[in-house]
């Protein structure tokens, strides 16, 4: 008799397949755990899975799976990237004026002064990439130099968004209460961007003298306006660019009493020019052509009645000395 008959049928072993395992649901306590709260969350598709916000992957809910994912190489690498980039809200980077200390305000003043210094002396903003380190090393005991964080990108942003806006706002407020003239000229250089410079001239009560200040640099071929770009540098586009820049700051056109530019037909033509459009919008305006262009025309006309040998003599003297350093040195020795 075999053992089965003697002892009876053996009890079969219980096998627990994956389908028979009890399905777990996401526990809020796991998300509050200091080890997992920065990356573990509930899967939005199903409650039976968890999701890693950093790796953007989902896995079956099980504490062992959570621990296994926490120790995986890819997760550790992604966590380092997240901690380095410091994913904070944009508002956390903005410091309110009330929370600024006296040192922070002095740092902002110093950064604005450095940006203005570079612009006034026509120094490249790239110089700030090295100048900042020089300042910190030269003044190690200064808290202002220690907190300064400004290189070319920030220097450019300060110039565009702080200095330029404040200067133009002050200038616009001044033009609202005084009479002024508009001076303009187009760029003649060979470049992909064609611009028109606008300068305003008015009496400044603060300095008690007449001043000329830069107002705007209009882009003639504006990419945002395809119709304007196709028309080109017409009198209509040039005039609208000037008027729009003035009207943008609510400056009354009645205060514009003068207009000056070069004498080309687009600017000073008797019909359909910038000058005629100014006269229509600003009755009584005084128009003046460029003095330099006018003097050049007068001089050219006067030279027609002089012997050609005079002009050739002046040109020959310059050509003889202009391109020769040796001849210039001999002339200098002769003069001494």
Q: What domains lie within the chain, and their CATH numbers?
A: 22-85 (no CATH), 96-164 (no CATH), 178-294 (3.30.420)
Amino acid 300: pLDDT: 84
Sheet arrangement for strand 57-60: 40-42, 49-52, 57-60
Amino acid 331: pLDDT: 92
Read off the pTM. 0.56
* pLDDT 10s digits, 56-79: 888 777 778 888 888 888 888 888
What is the rounded distance in angstroms from the CA atom of residue 268 to the CA atom of residue 210?
25
What is the rounded distance in angstroms from the CA atom of residue 107 to the CA atom of residue 97?
13
CB atoms within 10 A of CB 73: 7
Give buried/exposed letters for 288-313 (b at 16+ CB in 10 A, else e). ebbeeeeeeeeeeeeeeeeeeeeeee
SS3 14: coil
- Cα distance between the two ends of the chain: 141
Contact of 135 with 145, CB cutoff 8 Å: yes
Amino acid 126: pLDDT: 92
What is the rounded distance in angstroms from the CA atom of residue 180 to the CA atom of residue 199?
10
Amino acid 3: pLDDT: 47
What is the rounded distance in angstroms from the CA atom of residue 167 to the CA atom of residue 209?
19
Distances (CA, A) of 302 to 213, 296, 297: 34, 10, 9
Low-confidence residues of the chain: pLDDT under 70: 1-24, 31, 83-100, 190-192, 222-232
Amino acid 228: pLDDT: 58
E strand or H helix that includes residue 218: strand 209-219
- DSSP assignment of 236-283 equals HHHHHHHHHHHHTTT--GGGEEEEEE---HHHH-SSSSHHHHHHHHST
E strand or H helix that includes residue 103: helix 102-120
What is the rounded distance in angstroms from the CA atom of residue 282 to the CA atom of residue 286?
10
Contact of 33 with 48, CB cutoff 8 Å: no
């Amino acid at each position: 008799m075999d053992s089965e008959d003697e002892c009876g049928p053996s009890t079969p072993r219980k096998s627990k397949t994956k389908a028979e395992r009890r399905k777990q649901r996401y526990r809020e306590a796991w998300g509050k755990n200091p080890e997992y709260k920065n990356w573990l969350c509930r899967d939005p598709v199903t409650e039976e899975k968890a999701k890693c916000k950093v790796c953007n992957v989902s896995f079956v809910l099980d504490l062992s799976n959570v621990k296994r994912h926490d120790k995986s190489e890819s997760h550790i690498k992604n966590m380092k990237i997240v901690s380095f980039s410091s994913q904070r809200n944009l508002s956390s980077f903005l410091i309110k004026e009330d929370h600024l200390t006296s040192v922070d305000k002095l740092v902002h003043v110093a950064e604005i002064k450095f940006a203005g210094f570079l612009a006034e002396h026509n120094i490249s903003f790239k110089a700030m990439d090295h100048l900042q380190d020089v300042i910190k090393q030269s003044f190690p005991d200064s808290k202002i130099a220690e907190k300064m964080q400004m290189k070319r990108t920030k220097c450019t942003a300060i110039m565009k968004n702080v200095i330029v806006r404040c200067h133009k706002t002050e200038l616009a407020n001044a033009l609202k209460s005084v009479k002024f003239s508009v001076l303009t000229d187009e760029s003649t250089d060979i470049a992909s961007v064609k611009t028109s410079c606008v300068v305003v001239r008015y009496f400044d009560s603060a300095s008690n003298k007449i001043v000329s200040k830069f107002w705007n640099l209009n882009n003639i071929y504006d990419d945002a306006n395809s119709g304007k770009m196709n028309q080109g540098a017409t009198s209509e586009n040039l005039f609208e660019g000037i008027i729009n820049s003035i009207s943008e700051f609510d400056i009354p056109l009645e205060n514009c009493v003068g207009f000056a530019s070069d004498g080309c037909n687009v600017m000073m033509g008797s019909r359909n020019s910038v000058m005629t459009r100014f006269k229509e919008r600003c009755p009584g305006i005084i128009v003046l052509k460029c003095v330099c262009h006018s003097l050049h025309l007068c001089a050219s006309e006067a030279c027609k009645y002089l012997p050609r040998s005079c002009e050739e003599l002046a040109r020959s003297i310059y050509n003889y000395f202009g391109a020769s350093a040796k001849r210039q040195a001999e002339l200098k020795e002769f003069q001494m």
